[in-house]
Structure 1
């Protein structure tokens, strides 16, 4: 269905995609549009704690917030990818990030947007993820890291 989406090869290329489309772009970590959009167009995620179906796909906006000012868009995009990179391991084999154009329908349990996908845009390559990690690491901030939840050992 959507396996023929282009793949964004570099962070600079992702920045160009963002600049061309801008405000309604989201990044989603899943096995892709074929699974998420399905034949019936359900477009639903599930709450990881309770299993409750959510009214949209859990995704994260790429939109730059006004408080970011004139800081580099590339760094903004890098941190948006880095923030949720742990989802690849958490959600299992075949999970990777992809960009979609969509509309927010509601908010999820972590206050993330739950969106309806209007159009899948592109896959994000592993090279982009490595570039994003390097750029974030270069900021050398001891107080910042991914938004991963980890259960503490008992």
Structure 2
């Protein structure tokens, strides 16, 4: 399952989100090869307590209605930027990938817990860099990634 296609740019990710249904999620992990070894045991683990969670922690890519006609590009940039620190925190081989799935619960940080129906694609470093540039171009001193270490 590691032979997924790769989404190279933020524009490609935005186009995918605009085209697909609202069941797309981004997950930061070593990928579907690690996460989907047993289809009946798709779990994450709470970092604070070690408690197994009944699904894969992931973030929705679906654009909320309240976003209105604002750029989908900025929406997906935020989705990537918010959790980019997980790559360093979780160690080598961790990277973002897109999956189609269904929400089956909520984790302790109110994050969706998802059952993956289908891995879609890896997200390339270039798209991550583009998301960082777009977020920084917003010049907001009150906003940043969801990194508890800072």
Shorter-chain TM-score category? over 0.9
What's the CA shift for 1:22?
3.3
Tell me if structure 1 keeps the 8 A contact 2:59–2:111.
Answer: yes
Structure 2 counterparts to residues 5-44 of structure 1, below 5 A: 5-39=4-38, 41-44=40-43
Q: Which runs of 5+ in 2 are unaligned?
A: none
In structure 1, C-alpha distance between the alignment counterparts of 2:70 and 2:129, rounded to whole Å: 21
Shift of 1:21: 1.2
* 1:35 counterpart SS class: helix
The list of structure 1 runs, each at least 4 consecutive aligned residues, that deviate by more than 6 angstroms after superposition, is: none
Structure 2 SS opposite 1:22 = coil
Shift of 1:39: 3.6
The alpha-carbon deviation at position 18 of structure 1 amounts to 1.2
TM-score (norm 2): 0.97
Question: How many residues are treated as equivalent by the alignment?
Answer: 150
Task: Measure, in 2, the Cα distance between the counterparts of 1:40 and 1:128.
Answer: 29
Q: Partners in 2 of 1:101 and 1:111 — Cα distance?
A: 19
TM-score scaled by length of structure 1: 0.95
2:88 aligns to what? 89
2:18–2:72: 8 Å Cα contact kept in structure 1?
no
RMSD, aligned α-carbons: 1.0
